[in-house]
Amino acid sequence: MSISIPPRRRVAFRFPLRHGAATKIVLWILVGLFSAGAIGVLAYTVVTMASDHMEEEARKAFADNPVILEHIGEWEECTTNLQKTGNYERTRHVHVVVFDLKGTKGSGVLVVTEMDNQGNYESAALETDHGTFELQ
């Protein structure tokens, strides 16, 4: 008794691709990925530049403030905290910019309300572990 195995049948593509069509598809996918990456890098650069500018304006406006000197000391580090900025704006319904401060005496959060590009602001407060202090 012999077992016969049927020959393998070739499976035809249901929608055959034209010659070179796969290369064009791969090319368009690569162009799309490159474009998305370029937009991401551009967005990151713009946010970083704006954040650095705001940090510098905050340093100019508040570095010599007596309340900050008392609780934070001399500024060692100032970073814009975008997550806290969003949280404060949702809860307070005003435009704020939040900075994380580190200094020689401690650290805290500087909350500046309605700060513009020239460092002008409506109000500011320093939040530390010891309380919240309004800045003049």
Question: Scanning the structure block, which residue is given the tokens 């001399």?
Answer: 74
Q: Closest Cα partner for 124 from 85, 84, 97?
A: 97
| CA atoms of 26 and 77, how far apart (whole Å) | 46
Higher pLDDT residue, 92 or 134? 134
pLDDT grade for 26, boundaries at 50, 70 and 90: confident
pLDDT value for 10: 64
- Average pLDDT of 101-126? 83
How far apart CA 97 and CA 94 sit, in angstroms, is: 10
Higher pLDDT, 16 or 43: 43
Nearest Cα residue to 133 out of 78, 65, 46, 80: 65
Share above pLDDT 70 across residues of the chain, in percent, rounded to a whole number: 83
Confidence of residue 1 (pLDDT cuts 50, 70, 90): low
pLDDT in tens, 33-92: 999 999 999 999 998 898 888 888 888 888 888 898 888 888 888 888 889 988 888 888
pLDDT of 63 reads 82
